[in-house]
């Protein structure tokens, strides 16, 4: 066999063996993380904390809103306040400006006027927390709009909770005009006026006054009792007192107090004291009754006994300023002007907006013939609606009647 000697043989590639323990592969590169800037790291941590805090505050605020809103709705559902819900007037009155809303506003204005006329520990110069505090009157129409109050009214209807509503209507004939008021579950009452001697609109104004008294009698009888006393409607406060004793026993102590006030107007002092004793039997800490008892004794010139009763009133309620004032007034009546001035100034330190001690200061300075101080304190008393004009026949006011400066001040501030 002849071999092909011209063919060149290509030798195979010789790969040397890998030394043991040595890797010939390219080593992988290791990435070293950059060192963070401490300033920016702190900013990030702060941002996270602020975000968490804002979230916590938001949740807390929403929770508080829901909590207080639920309390408000619960209180409103339990409220026994009265709502002036509707009022109807004849079309003729509507056309002449006496729309139902106008009549409602007139009733509310009359009620406000009566409240401003009154003064007692109940209505001013005292911090009181009696459960007998009068109910509010809301003039919004029930169920109108989508306000929170309307939602509450819808809840009332769903839950079957009755609302104390006040409604009314006016009717007219050729000879008379009548106004009927319905107050909650207390029934209705009709007031009527003859038109023989007045126009129908004057008649309506008279009826609005009567209706306002009825509304206030049922919504805030304590103020109404006081109003009758202040306006010296001698029989009306006793009538209302008797009604409350029968129908509203929670007002018993105030009813006895008002009855006593009516008897005081009639100079029936012994009978008045008997009623005041009944009031104190209901509530031995009833400061108004102790104060009124002191005033009965003062009018009888039993000054030391009167001061003892006023002191009982002060012990019962240190925030009630009238008995302090009455003590100062007794010192004035006894001619102890320096003591009266000292005690009056002490009352003013307690409450500078309480007008009566200024009138005592004026009387003291009148007796001391210090006219500038007299007029200074007189004007302050008048500004605070102290009815000096009702005392013009008494000493020392009568000595100033006819003096131009005095008469101008009385005319400027007189309310009646």
Burial of 244 (0-12, 13-18, 19+ CB in 10 A): buried
pLDDT at 37: 65
- Give me the pLDDT at residue 233, please: 74
Q: Determine whether 322 is exposed, middle or buried from the number of CB atoms within 10 Å of its CB (0-12, 13-18, 19+).
A: buried
The two structure tokens encoding residue 414 = 């007189």
List, for residues 2-38, the tens digit of each pLDDT value.
444 444 454 555 555 555 554 545 555 555 566 566 7
Output DSSP code: residue 196.
Answer: S
Any idea which residue has 């009031």 for tokens? 279
Chain segment 118-156, per-residue pLDDT in tens: 754 444 433 333 333 345 444 444 333 446 666 766 776
Tokens of 77: 């559902």
- Its CATH architecture, for the domain 232-316, is Alpha Horseshoe (1.25)
Torsion of CA 362, 366, 372, 375, to 10 degrees: 40
Cis check for the bond before 385: say yes or no (omega within 30 of 0).
no
- In this predicted structure, what is the pLDDT of residue 78? 61
**Burial (0-12, 13-18, 19+ Cβ within 10 Å), 179:** buried
Domain 321-416 has CATH 1.25.40.10: yes
Q: Same CATH topology for 232-316 and 321-416?
A: yes
Query: Per the structure block, which two tokens stand in for 216?
Result: 């206030």
Across the range 214-243, mean pLDDT stands at 82
Return the pLDDT at 38: 72
- What's the pTM value of the predicted model, to 2 decimals? 0.64
* Residue pointed to by tokens 């009630």: 320
- Whether the CB-CB separation of 290 and 324 falls below 8 Å is answered with no
pLDDT digits (tens, 9 = 90+) for 45-92: 777 888 888 888 888 888 888 887 777 667 665 655 666 667 888 888
166 secondary structure, DSSP code: E
Burial 95-126 (b: 16+ CB within 10 A, else e): eeebebeebbebbeebbeebbebbbbbbbbbb
Please state, in angstroms and as integers, the Cα–Cα distance from residue 221 to each residue in 55, 218, 298, 328, 351, following that order. Answer: 51, 6, 27, 30, 27
Domain ranges of the chain: 232-316, 321-416
């Amino acid at each position: 066999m002849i071999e092909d000697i011209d063919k060149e043989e290509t030798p195979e590639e010789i790969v040397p063996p890998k030394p043991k323990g040595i890797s010939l592969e390219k080593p992988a590169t290791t990435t070293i993380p950059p060192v963070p800037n401490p300033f920016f790291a702190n900013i990030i941590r702060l941002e996270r904390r602020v975000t968490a805090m804002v979230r916590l505050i938001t949740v807390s605020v929403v929770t508080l809103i829901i909590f207080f809103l639920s309390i408000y709705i619960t209180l409103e559902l339990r409220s026994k306040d009265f709502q002036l819900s509707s009022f109807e007037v004849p079309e003729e009155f509507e056309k002449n400006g006496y729309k139902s809303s106008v009549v409602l506003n007139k009733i509310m204005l009359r009620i406000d006027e009566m409240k401003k006329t009154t003064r007692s520990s109940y209505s001013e110069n005292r911090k009181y927390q009696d459960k007998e505090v009068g109910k509010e009157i809301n003039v919004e129409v029930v169920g109108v709009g989508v306000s929170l109050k309307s939602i509450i009214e819808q809840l009332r209807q769903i839950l079957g909770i009755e609302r104390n509503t006040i409604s009314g209507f006016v009717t007219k004939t050729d000879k008379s005009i009548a106004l009927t008021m319905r107050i909650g579950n207390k029934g209705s009452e009709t007031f009527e006026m003859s038109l023989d001697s007045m126009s129908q609109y004057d008649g309506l104004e008279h009826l609005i006054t009567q209706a306002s008294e009825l509304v206030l009698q049922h919504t805030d009888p304590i103020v109404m009792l006081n109003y009758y006393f202040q306006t010296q409607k001698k029989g009306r406060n006793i009538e209302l007192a008797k009604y409350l004793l029968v129908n509203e026993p929670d007002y018993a102590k105030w009813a006895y107090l008002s009855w006593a006030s009516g008897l005081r107007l009639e100079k029936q002092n012994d009978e008045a004291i008997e009623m005041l004793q009944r009031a104190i039997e209901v509530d031995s800490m009833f400061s108004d009754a102790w104060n009124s008892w002191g005033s009965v004794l003062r009018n009888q010139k039993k000054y030391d006994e009167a001061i003892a009763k006023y002191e009982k009133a002060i012990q019962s309620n240190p925030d009630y300023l009238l008995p302090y004032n009455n003590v100062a007034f007794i010192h004035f009546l006894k001619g102890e002007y320096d003591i009266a001035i000292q005690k009056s100034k002490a009352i003013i330190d307690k409450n500078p907006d309480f007008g009566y001690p200024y009138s005592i200061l004026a009387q003291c300075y009148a007796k001391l013939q210090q006219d500038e101080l007299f007029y200074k304190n007189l004007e302050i008393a008048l500004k605070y609606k102290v009815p000096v004009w009702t005392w013009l026949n008494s000493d020392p006011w009568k000595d100033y009647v006819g003096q131009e400066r005095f008469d101008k001040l009385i005319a400027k501030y007189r309310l009646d």
